[in-house]
Chain A
């Protein structure tokens, strides 16, 4: 009897362990399949021609596969989103963590979660009908829309960073005669800075990886833009728009675009977890 129980214990332990390994397996498979399918194109096109080429014209003869316009597109759109979303997100986090009356919090917090939960296509529809008619299908439209989309991400992470600052910091500032907001902004916020930075980095990750909403408002022209009122195509948009009809080298080049995006995301995630660790 006892023997039987011991085995079922250890068998289930092994089963739990194996289920935990699924995420490791998934990450390995994702990396493997992206690399195996994307690297041949990099080899054929040449790493520098691919990353720094200014011309993306897959139907030309010979076809040109330079993704610099798309890298620039992702960069400009993300930077705009950060300028729009990060300050408001940080201030909203201060409000949620330090200012908000508890009864208001019970309404506001689900509101923030809902803002995070609205599907990106719905955001895209909103952007198409509310932003594009005024600002054009442009970097600005995409940046503002993405700014709204990363707002809840920044606010949530920054809020928890602010909440993890020990209470005596705030009380000490108050005791020294600083006002409520002074204590918060001059003492609590600086104390939480690496967590707040982590929030911004996670926002960047969201913005770089966002696809559907951007496609619907950014215009998607694969060219280096001269102003924020021009349309751009991001790396994510490039994949979705052309994958449907691409073949051979064109298709491989799109997968390689995915590889470049993947590497960017991994670097951003690395920054995020490093900052997160140092904030603890």
Chain B
């Protein structure tokens, strides 16, 4: 009797644990679908052409200036962060000897940087770029703040991609008489490119969604970032708001919640597209790297 009871008990707890894990996974899916569905359902009806007018005013609540500013902000921040992040990754993966004090320091700093919340990045940006360097609330201050923020992300993705490149590639190139530099630029980096790109795309997602780091660095002015000479030249010292900051500003005013949801839906669609692109690239890296 006792034995069969234990057996039943075990069977029961096996089913219970199974239900628990499946339940958690289902709950997670349900939450994701609910959030995405909710935002799109609330925002989509208000995605009107007037939201995309070239000039923002309190009647049309146009998101176009914010969208254009977001694009410039993203491009500039990537243009700054990519060379530094990639260079650092090359040093760590190809040159650095493990266990050296400097190397450990660099890793510690990168880990720390990755863990710093965006509001602290924003405070630093305000104190250093806006006030100390005297750039004021500006596109430039926003770009530099974001650069510091995404640097560890790009470093990590690039380093992983470099390390995933088989050693036989390097050995083959060395055997043919290539120098270290040539091996890095002509062999290793091209092979690691998809992984680096996946990191870049993740960084784009991070920039597009960022708010706290930008409110007190780039400011909240809803205008195109263009210089007086006209587009596509930009005035890097003009204050601009990105899409995320725009959304936050709308909630502060409290009058345009519907337009806010429309902006949220737009932003969410951008983020989903960015994520899908990163996932496809990462999948390709996985297949090549193994």
A164 within 8 A of B: no
Which chain B residue lies CB-closest to A87? B24
The answer to whether B106 and A21 have CB atoms under 8 Å apart is yes
**Cα of A212 to Cα of B122 in the assembled complex, Å:** 12
B83 within 8 A of A: yes
The answer to whether B155 and A23 have CB atoms under 8 Å apart is yes
**Cα of A243 to Cα of B220 in the assembled complex, Å:** 13
Interfacial chain B residues near A95, Cβ < 8 Å: 21-22, 24-25
Q: Which of B57-65, B168-176, B208-216, B224-232 participates in binding chain A?
A: B208-216
| A24-54 with Cβ < 8 A to chain B | 24, 26-27, 29-30, 33-34, 37
Interface of B is mostly: helix
With A118-B271, A128-B251, A212-B248 as known contacts, state yes or no: A20 contacts B106, CB within 8 Å: yes
**Cα of A5 to Cα of B179 in the assembled complex, Å:** 8
**Cα of A184 to Cα of B257 in the assembled complex, Å:** 47
**Cα of A185 to Cα of B124 in the assembled complex, Å:** 44
With A20-B88, A23-B109, A26-B148 as known contacts, state yes or no: A119 contacts B271, CB within 8 Å: yes
The answer to whether A125 and B247 have CB atoms under 8 Å apart is yes
Q: Which of B21, B35, B274 contacts A126 (CB 8 A)?
A: B35
**Cα of A182 to Cα of B21 in the assembled complex, Å:** 12
A12 within 8 A of B: yes
**Cα of A125 to Cα of B128 in the assembled complex, Å:** 31
Interfacial chain A residues near B39, Cβ < 8 Å: 122, 125-126
Q: How near does chain B come to A106, taking the closest CB pair, in angstroms?
A: 8
| B71-87 with Cβ < 8 A to chain A | 83-87
With A91-B20, A129-B42 as known contacts, state yes or no: A30 contacts B124, CB within 8 Å: yes
A113 within 8 A of B: yes
Q: Which of A62-70, A134-142, A266-274 participates in binding chain B?
A: A266-274
B51 within 8 A of A: no
The answer to whether B120 and A261 have CB atoms under 8 Å apart is yes
| A133-171 with Cβ < 8 A to chain B | 148, 151, 155
Q: How near does chain A come to B24, taking the closest CB pair, in angstroms?
A: 3
B255 within 8 A of A: no
B110 within 8 A of A: yes
Interfacial chain B residues near A212, Cβ < 8 Å: 211-212, 244, 248
**Cα of A109 to Cα of B276 in the assembled complex, Å:** 11
**Cα of A124 to Cα of B106 in the assembled complex, Å:** 35
The answer to whether B179 and A269 have CB atoms under 8 Å apart is no
How many residues belonging to A are interface residues under a CB distance threshold of 8 Å? Answer: 85
Q: Which of A111, A119, A265 contacts B209 (CB 8 A)?
A: A119
A-B contact pairs, 7 of them (CB 8 A): A19-B84, A26-B113, A33-B127, A115-B28, A211-B117, A236-B212, A272-B115
Q: Which 8 A/B pairs are nearest by Cβ-Cβ distance?
A: A209-B117, A119-B209, A19-B87, A91-B24, A181-B17, A16-B91, A20-B88, A211-B212
Residues of B bordering A, CB below 8 Å: 10-11, 13-14, 17-18, 20-25, 27-29, 31-32, 35-36, 38-39, 42, 83-88, 90-92, 94-96, 105-106, 109-113, 115-121, 123-124, 126-128, 132, 148, 151-152, 155, 179-181, 202, 205, 208-212, 215-216, 244, 247-248, 251, 257, 260-261, 264, 267-268, 271-272, 274-276, 278-279
Q: A122-B209, A181-B21 are in contact. List 16 more A-B contacts (CB 8 A).
A: A19-B83, A24-B105, A26-B113, A30-B148, A33-B124, A92-B24, A95-B25, A98-B21, A99-B21, A111-B29, A120-B209, A122-B264, A129-B257, A179-B11, A185-B17, A211-B119
